[in-house]
Structure 1
Amino acid sequence: MEKDTVIIDYLLGRLSESERLAFEQQLDADLPLKQEADGLQKIWSNVQQQEVEPDAGMDTSFYALLDREKENQAIEKARQQPLKALPRRRSYWPYAAVLAAFGLMFWLGRLTVTPTVRTLTVEKKVMQPLAMPPSEEVAQVETPKAAETKETSLTKVQQEVATLRKELKVTQELVVLGLLRKESAAERLKGLQYASHLPELKPEVLRSLVRTLRQDENINVRLAAIETLRAYGQNPKVREAFLARLETASEVPEQLSVIETLVGLRIQEALPQLKHLTEDETVDPLIRQKAQQSIQLLTI
């Protein structure tokens, strides 16, 4: 199993207990892997989705965007370092003043001029270093420019993150569409699982889910499609899809699931079809009984 797939299944809680424990041990021993898992979990929380890897091109695009965000953060950190280091220069002035004072005192001791002249000379020499601008003032002068640079850098990083989230959302939708076209039923089931976490259904994704419900040859996949679409039951096209499937479904488990969904969503338009099922002698007795109970629930 590939690394990214393991991380996604771990974050979605799809691993068995033994697999989960083994992967958590691996995370404790592998810091880069843990950082990558934490990063994916943070992104998923923000955009309501997990990253998957349907092909190499999509993976390259995603990680390139992540690298760009990391580079911007590194640039911002590097720009802040000179500002932090600047106040340290102030500590050299006291030492320089002390050394200058000792030197002047030694020199004055050898002069033969009057004490008054020596006193004036000492005061003049000692005050010269103090006339220079303190490092705090230099920092204060440079602070507005540094703050402006930091704000610009932060804005750029925020724009990059917004772009990353937008492109990640598009990537997630493409992943769902790609998995639903896979020949493997397991891959199609995974695509339905990822689709259930999308904050909204784009028209193309909705059409793909409805097509899966209507045409997929595997009943487990169709049942999973019902569960996924149920979360978007307020969408008129989803409600129409359930009504249409009630007419065509022929296997008992799927018929039961569709009927329960129609009742749960309070779709009154299903009443005529349910009544027809109760009157059709060719329909399985269990379905006829379920339809009768559903009619009572919808008319309460």
Structure 2
Amino acid sequence: MEKNHVFDQIPDYLDGNLSKSDRAAFEKHVEQCTDCQKELEEMKTFFNVFEEEVPTPSNRLKTKFEAALEQEKNNQGKVVQMESKPSANWTSNVLKIAASIALLVAAFQMGSLFQQRKANEDIAQLQDETNQMKQTAMLSLMENQSASKRIQGVNYIEEFEQPDAAIIQALANRLLYDENDNVRMTAFEALAKFTSSETVKNTYIEALEQEKNPSIQVAIIQALVQIQEKKAAEPMKKLLEKEDTQPFIKDQIRAVLPSIT
């Protein structure tokens, strides 16, 4: 019984094309024949390989594969001697081809992964270079002799989601040392977005001690009270003691001082 193998019926069996009686006879034979069992399992493995969804390689990759396949055919010659078990030999060859395709797809996926990583690195480098150019332009504008240019440089802060220490310090210097009231007010407003920074808090306190413009003084007082900065209490008390402090500034301080002491 085992010599009468059913190799040629395996494809029809897997596709469900055998009649009920032929299918029963096939399964009965396979139960008793180890060779046919092995052939059936190999054929199932081959079908499973082609049922899996795989990414489609690029045209360039497919062209290379087809050229390699054509070269292999030429190397083997036009005439191929078939063995006595054509179905088994065919299955073995197809499984080799399936393995080659699987390796090709894996190579394609690895290539895509490396290309994506390289692209991400290039984008990150480009973003870094762009931020450096923006920072250079911003710092240069803030040192310009024209007040309007310095204001333009301060407003450049909108281009940075997370400005570094150099930018924060440059804005602090504008608030503390710029001779133009409008530039100082613009610098104060720019720094107000980063009041969690200790540099900004300390800058506000220092500016409060030396600022002469009442509008800027009020803005700084309100900002310090909003963030509940306890260290601002002493500078506010000193302003209360100064004779040249505007009366409405003193009223403002008296109103808010209890909330931070």
Matched, 1:294 2:247: no
AA of the residue aligned to 1:82: R
Of 195, 198, 201 in structure 2, the residue corresponding to residue 236 of structure 1 is 198
Runs of at least 5 residues in structure 2 that lack an aligned partner in the other structure: 1-56, 68-89
AA of the residue aligned to 2:201: R
Query: In 2, are the aligned partners of 1:196 and 1:231 still within 8 Å (CA)?
Result: no
Matched, 1:177 2:116: no
Q: State the superposition RMSD in angstroms.
A: 3.1
AA of the residue aligned to 2:234: P
Query: In 1, are the aligned partners of 2:138 and 2:153 still within 8 Å (CA)?
Result: yes
AA of the residue aligned to 2:117: T
Matches within 5 A, 1:112-261: 140=102, 142-261=104-223
Once the 2 structures are TM-superposed, how far is the Cα of residue 187 of structure 1 from its aligned partner? Answer: 2.7
Matched, 1:266 2:228: yes
Query: In 2, are the aligned partners of 1:247 and 1:273 still within 8 Å (CA)?
Result: yes
| Cα pair distance change 1:81/1:183, threshold 3 Å | farther
| Cα pair distance change 1:211/1:88, threshold 3 Å | same
Q: Secondary structure at the match of 2:212?
A: coil
Once residues 159 and 201 of structure 1 are traced to their aligned partners in structure 2, the CA distance between those partners, rounded to angstroms, is: 21
Once the 2 structures are TM-superposed, how far is the Cα of residue 213 of structure 1 from its aligned partner? Answer: 0.7
Q: Secondary structure at the match of 1:183?
A: coil
In structure 2, what is the equivalent of residue 282 of structure 1? Answer: 244
Once residues 153 and 273 of structure 1 are traced to their aligned partners in structure 2, the CA distance between those partners, rounded to angstroms, is: 58
Matched, 1:82 2:60: yes
Once the 2 structures are TM-superposed, how far is the Cα of residue 261 of structure 1 from its aligned partner? Answer: 1.6
Matches within 5 A, 1:37-56: none
Identity across matched positions, percent: 22
| Larger CA Rg, structure 1 vs 2 | 2
Once residues 280 and 141 of structure 1 are traced to their aligned partners in structure 2, the CA distance between those partners, rounded to angstroms, is: 83
Q: Secondary structure at the match of 1:231?
A: helix
Give the TM-score normalised by structure 2: 0.58
Q: Secondary structure at the match of 2:194?
A: coil
Aligned pair count? 180
Query: In 1, are the aligned partners of 2:191 and 2:200 still within 8 Å (CA)?
Result: yes
Give the TM-score normalised by structure 1: 0.51
| Cα pair distance change 1:201/1:140, threshold 3 Å | closer
Query: In 2, are the aligned partners of 1:86 and 1:139 still within 8 Å (CA)?
Result: no
Runs of at least 5 residues in structure 1 that lack an aligned partner in the other structure: 1-78, 90-129
In structure 2, what is the equivalent of residue 101 of structure 1? Answer: none
| Cα pair distance change 1:291/1:197, threshold 3 Å | farther
Once the 2 structures are TM-superposed, how far is the Cα of residue 86 of structure 1 from its aligned partner? Answer: 8.8
Once residues 103 and 173 of structure 2 are traced to their aligned partners in structure 1, the CA distance between those partners, rounded to angstroms, is: 66
| Cα pair distance change 1:273/1:142, threshold 3 Å | closer
Q: Secondary structure at the match of 2:58?
A: helix
Once residues 215 and 80 of structure 1 are traced to their aligned partners in structure 2, the CA distance between those partners, rounded to angstroms, is: 61
AA of the residue aligned to 1:190: Q
Once residues 141 and 226 of structure 1 are traced to their aligned partners in structure 2, the CA distance between those partners, rounded to angstroms, is: 62
